[in-house]
A and B are shown apart, each in its own frame.
Chain A
């Protein structure tokens, strides 16, 4: 046994706890004297004390105590009932303090339950305090957080172990009653000391984590959909090809657009140039009209000129007119004096010479009338000569004007013709037609530009779409790769969990088998030590593997005989061939020769089992690295009851070997037998 893992109980103090009002029980043990005996008559509180160890450490359900259901609380029943009936009662504390030493450190665990009356009902609240002595001997400030206290305690004495080392009368009885109760009790005890629960816990967690991984894998698979990485890679290549094609198309479109732009610019320049030409054309047309008009004017003025010439007035010469006038100077009657002229003068108020028309003048003129010839040739000739002269001047002027106009029109025509010749030089081609052609071409180019723009937009759209999808596909591929990697990791994790599970199952199975063998070995030794009948042995049978346990005693000689018979008959060989282990075959043989037990024998069986369990739990199994081994104290109630003779003697003699510290409760009667 490892001495460094020894745990020892020093004392337990009570205040108002159940049947203990104020009490301190010290357990002073030495290596030679490791038993603390608590004696008392039935009902004095021995079992209460046993359970108080559980209550102070982890709390205890008093309802589980047989025939104690009427006081299912920690407080002293008298105080509790007083609290129930007295409306003015104050709150009452009950507490238990346990001192124990573990690995050289002394601990103080105190559990206080304060009871109070609240709304006509008794309620309570619990307070825990755990402290320990430090190297300087001083006691630490108690830890009062329940969770922390439980955690600290569990490192020293786990609840499961506490239950495994506390044997009350009920549990002892249960061990030996063949039935569900005993099976359950043994199973629980075995389970506690063989780490079965630990392996169950491990298996459960492995299953749980495995389930989570499975769910995660399902989620990833769902997320990934049905598209494989290969398909995505193929799609990416296609999309990249599409994008390249679109780039080429766009390049072509841009080139064409540049061409169209250049063409349009060219056309614009041409059109701009042609606009000037068009203006010239318009001017030309105007000039042509002007030319027509000028020609017409020229013709008219020419006609007038020639008409003047043909009228002959232009033929009257100055010599002719002079000769006529010279001839007339030789005539006595002044030219121009005619009857009509005199008559006209007579009608006037004044004479043509300016004198007033008096009677003398009138008379003179009247007389003249009578002297004048009826026709005055001279006057006529003069008149005609003057007329010719005047006409000559007028015709001359007209001819001058006509010539001038004709000349002017001729010049204008010449000028227009010159201008037209100049315009004609500029307008070699038909301007309008060219403009129309160019306009048509311009329109075509614009249409082409529009189409190119549409193509460009479509190309960009397709390219954007392809790029977007490419991005998505790449992300999907990356995610798919990530998923694949994740799935690979998850699969590896599942494989590892599978391996862990297999190991746990195998270890659990082997541990159970080894534990059973080990416990049976300790059981057999304990039985030999305690039982009066050396011809018998005991075996902890396990039916249906780990599910049911049963303590069975048998006569060794009967077992040996049966084994020989089975060996001879070949049955043992058959069982081995069927794959049964040695322990299973042994169990079969034991069950064949199992026998009933007397009450005293049953008690020995229970004690042997308790010792086997303690020996097993105190066994140094450091090799398994779980460090489950620990030398705990043994608390047992009424171990001597129902024992007699050699059995009682043996138990009394060897009970000190059960553990390093034994707290033993016994009544007077049973102990008197031991004392004797």
Chain B
């Protein structure tokens, strides 16, 4: 198994395995990407509120 094959889309695979709905997937990606921006900027102040917003939105949609 080559690394390329293994890295096809590990995150999506996991989300599929855990039976994420479309809204949950969108929310998860939104949070993850925001977390990445926060990590890069070193500014995590808004991450918590962003996660709260994501969770609220997803639950509202579901």
- Chain A contacts to B: CB under 8 angstroms: 147, 150-151, 154-155, 158-160, 195, 197-198, 201-202, 205-206, 208-209, 212, 489, 492-493, 496-497, 499-500, 502-503, 506-507, 510-511, 514, 517-518, 521-522, 619, 621, 623-628
Known: A198-B35, A205-B35, A506-B17. A492 touches B59 (CB 8 A): yes
A625 touches B6 (CB 8 A): no
Which residues on the B side are within 8 Å of A154 (C-beta)?
40-42
Given A489-B59, A493-B56, CB of A209 within 8 Å of CB of B7: no
Evaluate contact between A503 and B10: CB separation under 8 angstroms: no
Of B9, B24, B40, B52, most A-chain CB atoms within 10 Å: B40
Contact A511 B59 (CB under 8 A): no
CB <8 Å contact, A503 and B51 = no
Q: Which residues of B contact A623 (CB under 8 A)?
A: 7-9, 12
Give Cα distance in the complex from A158 to B38, angstroms: 10
Known contacts A521-B3, A626-B36, A500 near B42 by CB under 8 Å: no
Q: Across the interface, which residues of A come within 8 angstroms of B44, CB to CB?
A: 201, 205
Q: Is the CB of B59 within 8 A of A493?
A: yes
A-B interface, 4 closest residue pairs, ranked by CB to CB distance from nearest? A518-B3, A158-B40, A154-B41, A623-B9
B48 touches A201 (CB 8 A): no
Interface size, chain B (Cβ < 8 Å): 42
CB distance from A485 to the nearest CB of B (A): 12
Find out whether the CB atom of A518 lies under 8 angstroms from the CB atom of B33. Answer: no
CA distance in complex: A499, B13 (Å):
14
Q: Bound complex: CA of A625 vs CA of B52, how far in Å?
A: 22
Chain B nearest CB, measured from A497 CB (Å)? 6
CA distance in complex: A623, B13 (Å): 11
A497 to B52, CA, bound (A): 10
Q: How distant is the Cα of A499 from the Cα of B39 in the complex, in angstroms?
A: 22
B13-62 contacts to A (CB < 8 Å): 13-15, 17-18, 20, 24, 27-29, 31-33, 35-44, 47-48, 51-52, 55-56, 58-59, 62
Q: Are A496 and B24 in contact (CB under 8 A)?
A: yes
Q: Which residues of A contact B35 (CB under 8 A)?
A: 198, 201-202, 205
Task: Report the separation of the CA atoms of residues A537 and B28 in the bound assembly, to the nearest whole angstrom.
Answer: 39
Q: Are A625 and B11 in contact (CB under 8 A)?
A: yes
Of B20, B33, B47, which contacts A499 at CB under 8 A? B20
If over half of B's interface residues share one DSSP class (helix, strand or loop), that class is named, otherwise mixed; here it is helix
Contacts of A503 in B (CB 8 A): 14-15, 18, 20, 28
From A492, A502, A619, A625, contact of B29 by CB (8 A): A625
B32 to chain A minimum Cβ distance, whole angstroms, is 7
B14 touches A517 (CB 8 A): no
Partner of B10 from the list A202, A205, A500, A510 (CB cut-off 8 Å) is A510
Do residues B48 and A208 form an inter-chain contact, with CB atoms below 8 A? yes
Given A502-B18, A625-B33, CB of A201 within 8 Å of CB of B10: no
Contacts of B59 in A (CB 8 A): 489, 492-493, 496
Decide: A496 and B14 in contact? CB cutoff 8 A. Answer: no
Q: How far is the CA of A555 from the CA of B27 in the complex (A)?
A: 48
Q: How far is the CA of A496 from the CA of B62 in the complex (A)?
A: 10
- The distance from the CB of B10 to the nearest CB of chain A, in whole angstroms, is 5
The answer to whether B39 and A506 have CB atoms under 8 Å apart is no
**A147's closest neighbor in chain B, by CB?**
B43
Of the candidates A155, A208, A507, the one whose C-beta lies within 8 Å of that of B11 is A507
A-B contact pairs, 26 of them (CB 8 A): A151-B43, A201-B38, A202-B35, A205-B35, A205-B44, A205-B51, A489-B59, A493-B56, A496-B27, A496-B59, A499-B20, A500-B31, A503-B18, A506-B18, A507-B10, A507-B11, A510-B13, A510-B14, A511-B10, A514-B3, A623-B8, A624-B7, A624-B10, A625-B33, A626-B32, A628-B36
